[in-house]
Chains A and B, each alone.
Chain A
Amino acid sequence: MMATLKELAQQGEKFLGGHRACAGCGATIVARQVLLAAQYPVVVGAATGCLEVISTIFPYSAWNVPYIHNAFENVAATMAGVEAAYKALKRKGKIDKELRFIAFGGDGGTYDIGLQALSGMIERRHRVLYVCYNNEAYMNTGIQRSSATPYGAHTTTSPAGTVLPGKLQPRKNLTEIVIAHEPAYAAQATIGYWNDLVTKVRKALDANGPSFINVFSPCRLGWAYPPEKTIAITRLAVETCVWPLYEYENGKYRITVKPKEKKPVEEFLKIQGRFAHLFKLKDKTPIEEFQAEVDRIWERLQKRCAE
């Protein structure tokens, strides 16, 4: 199952250059890695958001595969419709190719406004892989908080001020909400562990039913860090257990990348501007609370994996 870089390089690019993403954009790396992993011809849909906006400015398109954008909250429903058409046309003998369907949505279009459509898509068992490129805020409209934004992060609608330390609530655990739907496959992944991601995409596309991968995807602008640090941050997220890499398959959980030693969350927080204010506070409670939340989720996940 393990992919080699050589093999991937021979795939031919399906997400091309010529788009207008920021240097160091995580979302474009997600799109590129996911499409490289696909061993079937794919049809892609994207929700409104950064990925869509930077990749399809008429008359240019970065997509070397069929692509559709409908609106912000409905990529799951749109791809459900595409998949339904494929099934109908296949049954009627109008198409004979083996195709796969991939929906891309940001965290806003997935955790918040698009959650209902995502839930419906999985419940009706459409064979679509839904990839959330999770940059933990609404970046396209200028870095507003989403329900994927972690506790303590500064965004333009959860700003750190003189009395508030950024976002007051921990993030929603969407992966678990999706798993409660019992999809054919679900996972958390990130671009810094490309082989892990590629393997998960292949499993998801082979799974006979709806699948979901939540991909941790840094945004250098929204998270305020130098563009060359994108991959380093994803590795820190995994090493601190801020973003555990795991999968849910055949009703079982499995941690796919185990950190050698669990680092303190400060190491992840301190290299990003969105958390800078936390380090200027005399009161260390917000960082402690962040650590406590990470620990809680990590312990629970380990228990789930241990059976």
Chain B
Amino acid sequence: MIVARTGNEAMAEAMRQINPDVVAAYPITPATEVVQLFASFVADGLVTTEFVPAESEHSALSACVGAAAAGARVMTSTSSQGLALMHEILFIASGLRLPIVICLVNRALSSPINIHCDHSDSLASRDSGWLQIFTENTQEAYDTTIMAVKMAEEIMLPAMVTTDGFIISHGMERIELIEDEKVPQWLGERKIINNLLDVNNPITLGMLDLQDYYFEHKRQTIEAMNNALPIIEKVQKEFGDAFGRYYPIVDEYKMEDAEVAILTMGSTGGTGKVAVDRMRKKGKKVGLVRCRIYRPFPKEAMLKAITKVRVLGIMDRADTLSTLGGHLYNDCRSILYESEKKPLLKNYIYGLGGRDISIEEIEEIFDQLLKIKDTGKVDKDIVYYGVRGE
């Protein structure tokens, strides 16, 4: 069915079709609508979910942990400070190997307070053992929300599916919905290994591990992350086979003969693709790479994509505040260390707090990258693009 939906509506629709056993959540702009819409589905009997309108995000995720441990299929939604307030529990969810899915609407972290999109919230949580998937548009957000449930359950790690705040969350787009009954059919039942509600076989969860066991248990979570990519790929293929929409690990756009490219995440992928088309019309050999699966980091697929070009502009919508540039930039520099082919890198930190990035600006970035290709020299490796005084 073809409909017009905002990103938030699309994620809420996906949640309605998934019909999770438990949703525990707390509202925050710009993710509020997801929870609101879901509450109305509960009120109208469109889902059989137990909805827990928690008194904070910390409690919302804590309740998700309890519910997931009890064998339920569990989802929530948040943004920015809400995710920051969940931070402590993010690690507990992954450490306990609980397949919780968060619909995360990216928004800048305070201070200064700001409600618009950048990636500082999800990237501040990147080391918490959650799968992180950045979507480009509403269709992808909808599809990925459904896929994430299966990925999380098969990998036994929690997952965040992100949209860009306001840009995707509040932007209306044409999307194709799957028929209601096909979603639960495709997902199947959650398989549970350890069930807290099985009183005949009592288990103890969340134990104290001292020097003698903590490391081995942590190692198992690391191993789950190490093994995640093939499962993610398999689920994406299964989804494509069932519904006709296939998704890549790393999205490559006009990269076959590209000489320079940008690397992006989230909605800038869409803006960037239009810029690529315009540059191509002018005869410039440019391309775009989009990091869709950010955690685990897709080393092989990313290397394959980015080593196709001589110059790569890495666009980060957050800063690590480490003096070393953005997150993607650091990840890519790290994987390129052992690579024989190394493109010249330039890091563009852009769009913080929702500052717009236009097609024209990305064209300008391409021009700069082409100049670097001609001169063979990167003038300045980290730039804060679009900020006054830079």
Contact = CB atoms under 8 A, between A and B. Distances in A.
A86 B197 contact: yes
B203 A70 contact: no
A61 interface: yes
A66 B207 contact: no
Contact of A69 (B48, B67, B205): B205
A77 B213 contact: no
Interface of A, helix, strand, loop or mixed by DSSP:
mixed
A120 B56 contact: yes
B59 A120 contact: yes
Given A61-B204, A78-B65, A88 B59 contact: no
A7 B228 CA distance: 52
Nearest to B91: A71
Contact of B202 (A65, A70, A71, A92): A65
A139 interface: no
Interface of B is mostly: mixed
A42 B213 CA distance: 28
Contacts of A282: none
Nearest to B64: A81
A116 interface: yes
A87 interface: yes
Given A53-B208, A78-B66, A85-B72, A41 B199 contact: yes
Interface in A118-139: 119-120, 123-124
B56 A116 contact: yes
Given A64-B202, A80-B66, A58 B207 contact: yes
A89 interface: yes
Nearest to A78: B66
A158 B60 CA distance: 34
B102 interface: no
B206 interface: yes
Interface in B18-51: 21-22, 24, 48-50
Given A57-B207, A77-B63, A84-B22, A71 B72 contact: no
B270 interface: no
Nearest to A63: B204
Contacts of B205: 67-69
Contacts of B187: none
B58 to A, nearest CB: 6
B198 interface: yes
Given A43-B196, A84-B50, A89 B62 contact: no
B1 interface: no
A6 interface: no
Nearest to B200: A41
Contacts of A61: 204, 207
A36 to B, nearest CB: 16
A81 B67 contact: yes
B203 A66 contact: yes
B99 interface: no
A74 interface: yes
Contacts of B71: 85, 89, 94
Given A68-B66, A71-B62, A117-B62, A57 B208 contact: yes
A95 interface: yes
Interface centre among A68, A99, A117, A124 (most CB of B within 10 A): A68
Contacts of B92: 70-71
Interface string A138-154: 00000000000000000
A83 B266 CA distance: 36
B241 interface: no
B177 to A, nearest CB: 24
Nearest to A87: B50
A119 B53 CA distance: 13
Contacts of A76: 59
A89 B72 contact: yes
A61 B54 CA distance: 30
Interface string B192-229: 00001111001111111110010001000000000000
Contact of A81 (B63, B202, B208, B213): B63
A64 B201 CA distance: 9
A76 B64 CA distance: 12
A45 interface: yes
15 contacts: A57-B208, A66-B204, A74-B58, A74-B62, A81-B64, A81-B66, A82-B67, A82-B70, A84-B50, A85-B66, A88-B22, A88-B49, A92-B21, A117-B58, A120-B56
Closest 5 CB pairs of A and B: A81-B66, A81-B63, A120-B55, A69-B206, A77-B59
